[in-house]
Amino acid sequence: MIASIQYNSNKYKIDFSQPIDISIPLIASKQNVNAWYIDEPKIEPVQIEDWIASVAKGSPVNFNNIQFNPHAHGTHTECVGHITKKVHSINQNLNQFFFLAEVITVAPEKLNDDFVISKKQVQFALGNKKRDAVVIRTIPNTKEKLSMQYSNTNPTYLLEETANYLKKKGVKHLLIDLPSVDKEKDEGKLLAHNAFWNTTGKLRLDATITEFIFVPNNVVDGTYFLNLQIAPFENDATPSKPVLYEVVN
């Protein structure tokens, strides 16, 4: 289904028949993508005395408990409450869910013992385009990202200057295929998080960071509409399902 929509005074044709899901599903397995030094998620039937809430075990229903951490176990969207003393909920601060987005692909640069995403790289990829959301795919882009165990691997991260550039450019929603926009072990500085959310000035309460996405290789760089779907958790972060839709010329 192709529909015309008005967005920021411009009209776009969107192909809603071909959604591109860029989330990573959560599974109860050691193969689930993971970071931050904790065990895999668990999905288990409730057990009360001899009753096990599983149809396979004789129950009329499946009735599972789910134990996971949104930051560690898959695609999640977070707000500034992730790094502030005051509680800020993603469910209260993300009130719009449809955005003009640009997908860009970046080959991380070597910086000392790290791999980083620099301002120059993102600036070159975006050019003069004004977008509400930016989706960053890093290369190499293999399916190993769907089950990678990131703890103690020092993954690629954004430089502070890159996050500052995106903030100044007016990008409200940053999506990336890494466990964090910041260095794994940085003494708690969280330079990119703080820069993007402007914690030294007026907080960008309506800005979000989505981590642990996966953009398939057959998705070309360019302009899309993003539907940023979240679960209604009153928490700094929630599992999310970002979906891209192609803009039809």
Q: What is the pLDDT of residues 86-105, one digit of tens each?
A: 999 999 999 999 999 999 99
Side-chain-facing half-sphere of 199: CA atoms under 13 Å: 18
How many Å apart are CA 224 and CA 211, to the nearest integer?
A: 18
Give the residues across from 224 on adjacent strands: 101, 246
- Per-residue confidence at 17, pLDDT binned at 50, 70, 90? very high
Task: Please determine, for residue 203, whether its predicted confidence score (pLDDT) is greater than 90.
Answer: yes
Q: Does the pLDDT of residue 170 top 80, yes or no? A: yes
Residue 249 pLDDT > 80, yes or no? no
Band of the pLDDT at 6, cuts 50, 70, 90? confident
Tell me the domains of the chain and their CATH numbers.
Answer: 2-26+70-248 (3.50.30.50)
What is the separation of C-alpha 184 from the centre of its chain, rounded to a whole number of angstroms? 16
Instruction: Return the bridge partners of 78, or none.
Output: 209, 237
Q: How far apart are CA 166 and CA 30, in angstroms?
A: 35
